[in-house]
Structure 1
Amino acid sequence: MNNYILEYYEKIQSGEIVACRRIKQQYGKLVDQINNPVEPYEFDIELATKPIEFIETFCRQAQGKNMGKPLKLDLFQKAKLQAIYGFVEKESRMRQYREVIDIRGRKNGKTTENSAISIFMQVGDGEGSAECYFIATKLDQAKKGFNEAYKMVSQSPLLSKYIKKRKTDLYFSPTYSSIQPLASDSNSLDGLNSHFVTVDELAAIKDRNIYDVMKQSTSSRDQALVSSISTNGFIRDSIYDSQYAYACDVLDGKIQDNRFLAFIYELDHRDEWLDESCWIKANPGLGTIKKFDELRSFVEKAKVDASFRPTVMVKDFNMVENSSTAWLSMEKLENKETFDIGNMEFGYGIGGFDMSETTDLTAAGVLCRRRDDENIYFASMFWLPSRTIEQRANNDKIPYDLFERQGLLRASGEFKVDMRDVLKWFVELREDYDIYIPWIGYDPWHVDDSLLEEFQGQFGKDSMIKVRQGAVTLSTPMKNLEADLDAKLINYNNNNLLKMCLANTEIKVDTNGNIAPVKGRDMRKRIDGTIALLNAYTIYLDKKNEYLNMI
């Protein structure tokens, strides 16, 4: 019998197969485990190969030009199956690994593979009354894997004799075993006794409850298996992010979990999406399962279409993005450098603010530079009504109360922000830090004549400059600001509230390729800090020569 784990790893080591760091980590661990078994486990090549032989013998292609033909697994799939099923306890012969996460680019055979595995777990695993489930947020998504399993069964002369489709499941009468789709909107997930669970598109699951319930439902089985499959997604701080971080910690040795396997196919560096030789890192089925020409066409479109690029980066290469029309990637906006405004000796700064009375944040900032220093420093402050901070923290699931304690946000008014608190903050910068502000860029929304006069009284008649909020005005500043953020020239003091606003900012693109900032569909995600920064930066570009002469 072939040891596909060793074969796959050898090809990775030789460079015949290009693999990412996370895959090298996982297979390095597996090869070491084969060569140096750790009690009480050992590698059993017969048990490791059993599911492969079952699938390739009995399961049939469910769609496409090869529909009805025997299902053939790629080397990376065979290596994965041997890893899951081959490591067993010496005495009981029960499997070591009880959970696996598999992250691949879209259209790399994840659902097909797990549909076939579900049939094996129902028929070939020797488990009485095996309950096998496909789960997802919505039942329609859960049914994708279930329906593919049904098609495989229907086209198999032998399987179709014994596995029958009932109203809600596929039923194998000799062992009273079933395969069924479930979702978080199903009537009940309680009382299940799962033997095999496929968590389909983990990145689309917003509420981790369905995962937790199904994971707990395996507790009474001797060798149950939970298989999470997914591409990356646009929902952040989700069960996907949690499981991804856990998987990385296991691979890095920070967490010891000898029941958990992680197969993470992704690019090692963002710029690798432009290098065709690296595409296989996130797409292990490229050329056999996934069409190379199709991926190339997606990449070519993404090169010229900024609104399409995040989809390709996330869904084809498993890179982290914020939304389908995100302005900034996490890699671009991240800058952990900090500064102490009291020790910087800034002489002059350019202000910017974005005001809101009730719902949105009110945000303000000052952009500063120093002589012979290419960095741009941005200090910011945020405001919310005092009576709404705790409520908004609970409703929006954003720790505004913590941000207030950290000094990143201030309470203003009871139920409506007092706009003069923004003026007072700018005055503080001048009085406490000797930062003189010749210009302040602002969106005139919520700025009445009396407030405008007060600002002009403090900073000068020509200090207040309107910044119109549209693509004509903001496209060039946004593109320049993006470049400066990417180059890590914008030091925003690692302000987590501003960072959140930058991450939330999406773009709309007009027919001329001009871009403007917009909110996403989730109205809890605020972008006001981005607007304050952008307003100041727009004035900075316009007044740059004059400003640099001042400093």
Structure 2
Amino acid sequence: MDCIQQYYHEITDQKVTVCHKTKRVYKHLVDTIHHPGVFHFDEEKANCAITFIEVFCHLSKGKTGGQLMELELWQKALISAVFGFVDDTGLRQYREVLLLVARKNGKSALESAISLYMLIADGESAPELYSVATKRDQAKVVWDEAVRMVKKSPEIHKYCKCRVGDIYCSINDGIYKPLASDSNTLDGLNVSCALIDELHAWKDSNLYDVVADGMTARQQPLIIIASTAGFIRENIYDLKYKQAEDTINGYDGITDYVDDRFLPIIYELDDKEEWRNPSCWQKANPGLGTIKDYQQLAEKVNRAKAGHKDVKDLLTKDFNVPETSSQSYLDWQDIKNTTTFSIAELKPRYGIGGFDLSRTTDLTSACVIFRIPDDSHIYVLTMSWMTEDALDEREREDKVPYRKWIERGLLRICPGHLIDYHMIADWFAEIQRSYDIYLYKVGYDSYGAGYLTKEMTETYGEHTMEIVIQGAKTLSIPLQNLKAELRAKNVIYNNNPILAWCLANLRVKQDINGNYQPCKNRSNKTRDDAALALLDSFTAYLRNMEDYLNII
């Protein structure tokens, strides 16, 4: 059995503990092995890279310094995925890999070993490899480790010469250099492989774009990004993490987003509070107990619990929890619910509305939630709007099937470049007219809602409209209760892909008291509007639950 399937079996047999994202990726890889399409798995190519590393690459630091690398199964599975999936001509499928793993799990040594394979044995003519970072000292971390590996291996040293600023391979005229943004060699790159270390420290995407643009002449270029988590600033790290989430969600059908060239391998906690539970530590630390010392991590955790160590640094670097600004609030396992309902069968009488407004590029969304007697489920109807002028750009950049959603009646288009708030009021009226559902309350964010609020008040009465202040004091408990209801599969939303996508995009931040509030993502590719509309509706529901349940 190949290493990918071995690793997945250990995951499913609970011999190793991984996060939901890692499990979903390896399930996808195993499915591809059994059901190949454009790409298939070549175990011989996968094993070639593994064998090279274990036969020729020596470790240089710590208790194993001087010894040959003995790859762990999680490392072999990763290498097998990178080098084993090919098309019918033998060219690699994956051109970019994101490995997110906590510190001290051997990622730099792994990068260095892979770089030497790419330099010597990948079959590329005159390969150009670069260890890339914004500063030269950081760019040399992986490169210096590769230099030490060359010097410790007589076989590699025979063909590779370590010079002041590069490693030269005489077999194929290959070259391997550290590259920083202040380098004078950024122009004219013909990159075959780039190794990017600690992407979280990058403040913009300029250097990444230069490297990616330098790969266009290669048939099977490879970018390997290995990083710990960072403090979110909406920089290149956060964009790549979002790309990883979208790719993984595409495996499960949450969206139609497909990126066959990008491989996300993410080791992180599923929930922030899991740092207190030793049985969960391996989720972010696949090398725990072997590469990374278990006792040292336990001591760090104990110091953090006692207030003697910065918890934020521990969470970010040892458990890959992005800290300070925002974090994903819901996991796909929380969100996923394929149950559907028929209003004609349920015959609800009263509902609670909510809406989240935009003017131009964002979605505008509205929803109605309702309960029926002797049923604990919360049922959700939702609709979203987008401007006609923004449709082409949004579909291209957001990489979600807006036009398919329009065809399915889940998204409506407003002519021109501005959202027409009359259409939101008309939708609520349509719900009442079509399904005989009367609005008992409507929760809303008052910012920018003056006109719509006036129209809704004239239609449904002032007592119906309830302002939902968008702060932690108001929303922390509704957020936590909504998450609990979603996890319990009590929220039935007719498997609406727009709402599911927006829930997956929902980011929150915590105040000093541990209270949550939504935090609007500054990325212009992230939409959470349908989730916020649901949250406003759910908040109004919680405020009025006793009275509401009495009238249904």
**TM-score, reference length from structure 1:** 0.69
* Cα shift at 1:295: 4.3
Q: Is the 8 A contact 2:442 2:464 kept in 1?
A: yes
Give, in whole Å, the separation in 2 of the partners of 1:370 and 1:492: 15
**Larger displacement relative to structure 2 (531-540 or 501-510):** 501-510
Report the 3-state secondary structure (helix = DSSP H, G, I; strand = E; otherwise coil) of the residue aligned with 1:365: strand
Q: Match of 2:470?
A: 469
Give the CA RMSD over aligned residues: 5.6
Equivalent in 407, 411, 414 of residue 412 of structure 1: 414
Give, in whole Å, the separation in 2 of the partners of 1:327 and 1:429: 30
Q: Match of 2:363?
A: 361
* Cα shift at 1:370: 0.8
Q: Is the 8 A contact 2:60 2:145 kept in 1?
A: no
1:261-340 map, 5 Å: 276-277=278-279, 279-280=281-282, 283-293=285-295, 295-296=297-298, 325-340=327-342
Q: Which amino acid in 2 is paired with 1:163? A: K
Q: Is the 8 A contact 1:329 1:503 kept in 2?
A: yes
Are 1:537 and 2:538 counterparts?
Answer: yes
* Cα shift at 1:356: 2.7
Residues 375 and 320 of structure 1, relative CA distance in 2, 3 Å threshold: farther
Q: Which amino acid in 1 is paired with 2:419? A: V
**Larger displacement relative to structure 2 (281-290 or 430-439):** 281-290
Residues 483 and 74 of structure 1, relative CA distance in 2, 3 Å threshold: same
Equivalent in 343, 351, 374 of residue 372 of structure 1: 374
Report the 3-state secondary structure (helix = DSSP H, G, I; strand = E; otherwise coil) of the residue aligned with 1:507: strand
Give, in whole Å, the separation in 2 of the partners of 1:106 and 1:179: 26
Q: Is the 8 A contact 2:133 2:181 kept in 1?
A: yes
1:136-151 map, 5 Å: 143-151=140-148
Equivalent in 94, 109, 112 of residue 115 of structure 1: 112
* Cα shift at 1:507: 1.6
Q: Match of 1:502?
A: 503
**Larger displacement relative to structure 2 (364-373 or 392-401):** 392-401
Give, in whole Å, the separation in 1 of the partners of 2:218 and 2:266: 28
How far does the alpha carbon of each residue in 1:173-195 deviate from its partner, in whole angstroms, 9 at most, with x for none?
Answer: 57644223569998467756x5x
Q: Match of 1:485?
A: 486
Q: Match of 1:165?
A: 163
* Cα shift at 1:55: 2.3
Q: Is the 8 A contact 1:103 1:229 kept in 2?
A: yes
Q: Match of 1:387?
A: 389
Give, in whole Å, the separation in 2 of the partners of 1:534 and 1:83: 42
Residues 47 and 459 of structure 1, relative CA distance in 2, 3 Å threshold: closer
Residues 324 and 479 of structure 1, relative CA distance in 2, 3 Å threshold: same
* Cα shift at 1:423: 1.6
Aligned-residue sequence identity (percent) comes to: 33
Q: Is the 8 A contact 2:269 2:281 kept in 1?
A: no
Q: Match of 2:256?
A: none
Equivalent in 346, 349, 363 of residue 347 of structure 1: 349
Q: Is the 8 A contact 1:390 1:401 kept in 2?
A: no
Q: Which amino acid in 2 is paired with 1:490? A: V
Give, in whole Å, the separation in 2 of the partners of 1:290 and 1:467: 47
Residues 490 and 316 of structure 1, relative CA distance in 2, 3 Å threshold: farther
Give, in whole Å, the separation in 2 of the partners of 1:16 and 1:474: 36
1:91-102 map, 5 Å: none
Q: Is the 8 A contact 2:56 2:68 kept in 1?
A: no
**Number of positions where the alignment pairs a residue of Structure 1 with one of Structure 2:** 497
* Cα shift at 1:110: 2.5
**Larger displacement relative to structure 2 (361-370 or 135-144):** 135-144
Q: Which amino acid in 2 is paired with 1:147? A: D
Residues 515 and 120 of structure 1, relative CA distance in 2, 3 Å threshold: closer
Q: Which amino acid in 2 is paired with 1:73? A: M
How far does the alpha carbon of each residue in 1:62-90 deviate from its partner, in whole angstroms, 9 at most, with x for none?
Answer: xxx669x4145345279939997xx99xx
**Larger displacement relative to structure 2 (175-184 or 296-305):** 296-305
Rg comparison, structure with higher value:
1
Equivalent in 164, 174, 178 of residue 175 of structure 2: 178
How far does the alpha carbon of each residue in 1:29-75 deviate from its partner, in whole angstroms, 9 at most, with x for none?
Answer: 99xxxxxxxxx9989x999766434323xx633xxx669x4145345
Q: Is the 8 A contact 2:167 2:175 kept in 1?
A: yes
Q: Which runs of 5+ in 1 are unaligned?
A: 31-39, 89-94, 220-224, 249-256
How far does the alpha carbon of each residue in 1:349-406 deviate from its partner, in whole angstroms, 9 at most, with x for none?
Answer: 0111222333433221111001111110111112233333334434554544443332
**Larger displacement relative to structure 2 (377-386 or 180-189):** 180-189
Q: Is the 8 A contact 1:474 1:538 kept in 2?
A: yes
Give, in whole Å, the separation in 2 of the partners of 1:188 and 1:516: 45
Residues 279 and 392 of structure 1, relative CA distance in 2, 3 Å threshold: closer
* Cα shift at 1:463: 1.2
Q: Is the 8 A contact 1:383 1:411 kept in 2?
A: yes
Q: Is the 8 A contact 1:134 1:200 kept in 2?
A: no
Report the 3-state secondary structure (helix = DSSP H, G, I; strand = E; otherwise coil) of the residue aligned with 2:476: helix
Residues 143 and 521 of structure 1, relative CA distance in 2, 3 Å threshold: farther
How far does the alpha carbon of each residue in 1:171-229 deviate from its partner, in whole angstroms, 9 at most, with x for none?
Answer: 2457644223569998467756x5x775768999999997798597356xxxxx96856
Equivalent in 54, 66, 69 of residue 70 of structure 1: 66
Q: Is the 8 A contact 2:506 2:528 kept in 1?
A: yes
Residues 97 and 187 of structure 1, relative CA distance in 2, 3 Å threshold: closer
Give, in whole Å, the separation in 2 of the partners of 1:371 and 1:479: 24
Report the 3-state secondary structure (helix = DSSP H, G, I; strand = E; otherwise coil) of the residue aligned with 1:456: helix
1:9-24 map, 5 Å: 18=16
Q: Is the 8 A contact 2:53 2:69 kept in 1?
A: no
Equivalent in 108, 127, 133 of residue 129 of structure 2: 133
Q: Is the 8 A contact 1:134 1:145 kept in 2?
A: no
Q: Match of 1:548?
A: 549
Q: Match of 2:432?
A: 430
How far does the alpha carbon of each residue in 1:261-285 deviate from its partner, in whole angstroms, 9 at most, with x for none?
Answer: x997869987987763564466342
Give, in whole Å, the separation in 2 of the partners of 1:247 and 1:446: 37
Give, in whole Å, the separation in 1 of the partners of 2:361 and 2:122: 58
Q: Is the 8 A contact 2:326 2:508 kept in 1?
A: no
Give, in whole Å, the separation in 1 of the partners of 2:368 and 2:176: 60
Report the 3-state secondary structure (helix = DSSP H, G, I; strand = E; otherwise coil) of the residue aligned with 2:329: coil
Q: Which amino acid in 2 is paired with 1:109? A: G
Give, in whole Å, the separation in 1 of the partners of 2:28 and 2:417: 53
Report the 3-state secondary structure (helix = DSSP H, G, I; strand = E; otherwise coil) of the residue aligned with 1:420: helix
Q: Which runs of 5+ in 2 are unaligned?
A: 34-41, 85-89, 230-236, 253-259
Q: Is the 8 A contact 2:352 2:537 kept in 1?
A: yes
Residues 131 and 296 of structure 1, relative CA distance in 2, 3 Å threshold: same
Report the 3-state secondary structure (helix = DSSP H, G, I; strand = E; otherwise coil) of the residue aligned with 1:331: helix
* Cα shift at 1:144: 3.9
Report the 3-state secondary structure (helix = DSSP H, G, I; strand = E; otherwise coil) of the residue aligned with 1:349: strand
How far does the alpha carbon of each residue in 1:319-356 deviate from its partner, in whole angstroms, 9 at most, with x for none?
Answer: 999x9522222222222222233442111001112223
Q: Match of 1:60?
A: 60
